[in-house]
Amino acid sequence: MTDDQTNHSQTAAFIWSVADLLRGDFKQSQYGRVILPFTLLRRLECVLEPTKAQVLSAAQEHQAKPDAVREKLLLRAAGQQFFNASPLSLATLSDSQTADDLMSYVQSFSQDAREIFEHFHFEDFVQQLSANNLLYQVVQRFASIDLSPATISNFGMGIIFEELIRKFAESSNETAGEHFTPRDIVHLTTSLVLTGQEGRLTPNSIVTIYDPTAGTGGFLSEGDEYIQQISESVTVSLHGQELNPESYAICKADMLIKGQEVSNIKLGNTLSDDQLATNKFDLMLSNPPFGVEWKKVQKQVTDEHKHRGFDGRFGPGLPRVSDGSLLFLMHLVSKMRDAREGGSRIGIILNGSPLFTGGAGSGESEIRRYLLQNDMVEAIVALPTDMFYNTGISTYVWVLSNNKPAERRGKVQLIDATDRATKMRKSLGSKRQFVSESDQDEIVRMYGDFQETKKSKIFPIEAFGYRRITVERPLQLNFQTSEERIARIADEKAILKMDQEDQGNIHAACRAMNAKTVYRNRKQFQKALKASLTDHQVYLGAPQLKSLLNALSERDPEADICTDSKGNPEADTGLRDYENVPLSESVYDYFVREVKPHVPDAWIDESKRDEKDGEVGIVGFEIPFNRHFYEFTPPRPLEEIDADLKQCTDRIKQMIEELSA
């Protein structure tokens, strides 16, 4: 942790200490709902401080003008995207009518800033504080905190807000990880997406950045800051959508302070209500929630998939309802600019399941197939574990592009960065490790070099594809009318539905046959059985006959193969198997080499064909990341293990002797 981060953490801890005043009168889960808006209010106040006199003077001068005109003039006087036309400040609120003064002060902000406080239900909490005689004390505490831009940069303020949200989440048993991503991971992902993009950042160009799960705006801020460091003459336009009202309010406040167009930040569920539906973006960055089900939006998403197909966002397929992360990935892909206009780049953080969950033909596999066959996946980086505040699971950064450089076309780079971690001095929730700047630089260098090494592997797209063929083996049965098998007739539903007399006649017909004779040919047995049934006036339909044969049969590798009416061998569903054949190989060559030597009587079911290409076998795609980096460690020699065990047992013996002495 750098000195700056330590200072920001100390500031956040001091702000959070306001919770000591709230204890007893407020529930723990409400602390953040008081502290976050007051912190925002103090930050906005500090940002406006240098031009406050000019704004008050302009407010006096232009008070008779129409609201729209007056607002523009006051924004100009403030030199910001927002203003406050009240002569009050937190430090000057009266102790006798604090609530009225405070709400009057907040109402004097320009509309965008005013709305931020509505998302926190600020007035309700102000009244509650006032009723408990705490409001003036809280106001005084915040008035004493220096949150001016000269002391704390916008980036630093982002870290402070994230620290406060984490404390808020801990106190109310929420998951902070739903609100923001650790800054080391944000920085790494942004660096990967922007590596080699200098050509895009020409003077006076406009670059659009989008995050569909914006949280408090960490990815947007980082992308902006990264580009400004490379070229100050590039205009960066930030866009995002966020589901959580409080995170949205903080993100919106951050954009206001940065001078961004706040109308580009939307509140709502991106999957069911995309409020930037017609927009395309240059760069997209996202950390969607891991493994979160999408049942609440299932109808809207499924309808879009069915009715709009590839004209909508979810054309390739839908993942299982228990994990929506691939929906966010497809949402981002739908917002890529045409490659002829320069295309787009995506950096998205996902857990392990999008790499391999779902077999051939499943929604997940079809989504991977679409991304890989359209050559959009550029690189996947495996991160160390214990990187996030609310989970210690394995995570991966996917870098996607629809305009790959020539040397990367048709290829995917996998980078194993699982050992690039530094232990934290103090854990933050589940986050026990961070990726240091030197490790980030090394990961980005491996990506930029695009070379085969122990930790960087390059594969053709086909390497991740396979065809799942259905391998059938013949059905071989023997038949017998023994008492044991006749007893099994009672388990057959088709026969149980018949009346009692017919059931009795079936049993009698079976008992009339020689119980010791074992038939190894189905047709011969069927002929003998039908004759006995006819003698007992029993005439069965096809379903009942099938059930009866099922009860009286057992598998027998010595029996004749059962055939259909055309004389073709019938498949034994119990012996059915599946083989995944690499996409680069003929299914027949594979079958002859890998299957036939072990089961000579097997065959491929050629009716099972892929819907898209019509070939035998259903196409699947998976990225078995760990398999490609697995290193076999041979076990220790037996002598060494024996010596260890002997040493251990000798020590136990000695301890027992000492006890009994």
Asked if the model's pLDDT at residue 600 lies above 90, the reply is: yes
Distances, alpha carbon 220 to alpha carbons 158, 198, 408, 570, in Å: 11, 18, 27, 61
Position 606: which residue type?
A: E
pLDDT of residue 313: 95
Segment holding 619, helix H or strand E: strand 618-621
* pTM of the predicted model as reported, rounded to 2 decimal places: 0.84
Position 26 in a domain: yes
Position 632 in a domain: no
User: What ranges in 319-389 are assigned the alpha helix state H?
Assistant: 325-333, 353-356, 363-373
Nearest to 389 by CA among 212, 226, 215: 215
Q: What is the mean pLDDT of residues 514-520?
A: 93
Nearest to 88 by CA among 105, 107, 69: 105
Q: What is the mean pLDDT of residues 499-524?
A: 92
Q: Which residue has the higher pLDDT, 554 or 3?
A: 554
- In this structure, what CATH number is given to the domain that contains residue 241? 3.40.50.150
Domain end residue (candidates: 555, 588, 611)? 555
Q: Are residues 311 and 440 in the same domain?
A: yes
Q: What is the mean pLDDT of residues 204-228?
A: 90
Position 270 in a domain: yes
- Count of residues in the chain: 661
Q: Are residues 297 and 168 in the same domain?
A: no
Position 358 in a domain: yes
Question: What is the rounded radius of gyration, in angstroms, for the C-alpha atoms of the chain?
Answer: 35
Q: What is the mean pLDDT of residues 645-650?
A: 91
Q: Are residues 416 and 281 in the same domain?
A: yes
Asked if the model's pLDDT at residue 545 lies above 70, the reply is: yes
pLDDT of residue 280: 96
Contact 242, 214 (CB under 8 A): yes
Position 46 in a domain: yes
Contact 247, 223 (CB under 8 A): no
Q: Are residues 185 and 162 in the same domain?
A: no
Residue 606 has phi, psi (to 5 degrees) of: -75, -5
Say if residue 60 is exposed, middle or buried (CB neighbours under 10 Å; 0-12, 13-18, 19+): exposed
Q: Evaluate the CA torsion angle 141, 144, 148, 151 in order and state its sign.
A: negative
Position 658 in a domain: no
Q: Evaluate the CA torsion angle 176, 180, 183, 186 in order and state its sign.
A: positive
**Could you tell me how far CA 126 lies from the centroid of its own chain?**
37
Q: Are residues 251 and 105 in the same domain?
A: no
Q: Are residues 431 and 302 in the same domain?
A: yes
pLDDT of residue 289: 85
Residue with tokens 């509309």: 111
pLDDT of residue 6: 60
Position 659: which residue type?
A: L
Nearest to 86 by CA among 119, 110, 112, 61: 110
Q: What is the mean pLDDT of residues 307-335?
A: 94
Position 636 in a domain: no
Alpha-carbon span 564 to 568, nearest angstrom:
6
pLDDT of residue 3: 47
Q: Are residues 488 and 403 in the same domain?
A: no
Q: What is the mean pLDDT of residues 508-522?
A: 93
- Give 456-480 pLDDT, tens digit per residue: 999 999 999 999 999 999 999 999 9
Alpha-carbon span 385 to 499, nearest angstrom:
65
Q: Are residues 520 and 383 in the same domain?
A: no
Q: Which residue has the higher pLDDT, 374 or 386?
A: 374
pLDDT of residue 176: 43
Query: How high does pLDDT run on average in the chain?
Result: 90
Say if residue 376 is exposed, middle or buried (CB neighbours under 10 Å; 0-12, 13-18, 19+): buried
Asked if the model's pLDDT at residue 351 lies above 80, the reply is: yes
Asked if the model's pLDDT at residue 203 lies above 50, the reply is: yes
- Give 223-275 pLDDT, tens digit per residue: 898 888 888 789 999 999 999 888 898 889 888 888 888 899 999 999 999 99
pLDDT of residue 450: 95
Domain end residue (candidates: 145, 174, 203)? 174
Q: Which residue has the higher pLDDT, 178 or 558?
A: 558
For helices 183-194 and 218-230, angle between their N-to-C axes, nearest 10 degrees: 50
pLDDT of residue 172: 60
Alpha-carbon span 86 to 104, nearest angstrom:
8
pLDDT of residue 216: 85
The first and second tokens of residue 3, run together, are 């000195």
pLDDT of residue 4: 55
Domain end residue (candidates: 540, 555, 570)? 555
Q: Are residues 328 and 223 in the same domain?
A: yes
Say if residue 93 is exposed, middle or buried (CB neighbours under 10 Å; 0-12, 13-18, 19+): buried
Q: What is the mean pLDDT of residues 488-509?
A: 90
- Give 58-107 pLDDT, tens digit per residue: 989 988 888 888 889 998 999 998 999 999 999 999 888 899 999 999 99
Q: Are residues 446 and 505 in the same domain?
A: no
pLDDT of residue 1: 47
Q: How many domains does the chain contain in total? A: 3
Position 158 in a domain: yes
What letter would DSSP give residue 84? B
pLDDT of residue 390: 66
Distances, alpha carbon 181 to alpha carbons 227, 331, 346, 400, 437, in Å: 19, 20, 16, 19, 16
Determine what percent of the chain is predicted with pLDDT higher than 90: 62
Asked if the model's pLDDT at residue 2 lies above 70, the reply is: no
Q: Are residues 106 and 211 in the same domain?
A: no
Nearest to 470 by CA among 580, 368, 562: 580
Q: Are residues 166 and 238 in the same domain?
A: no
The domain in which residue 452 lies consists of: 177-467
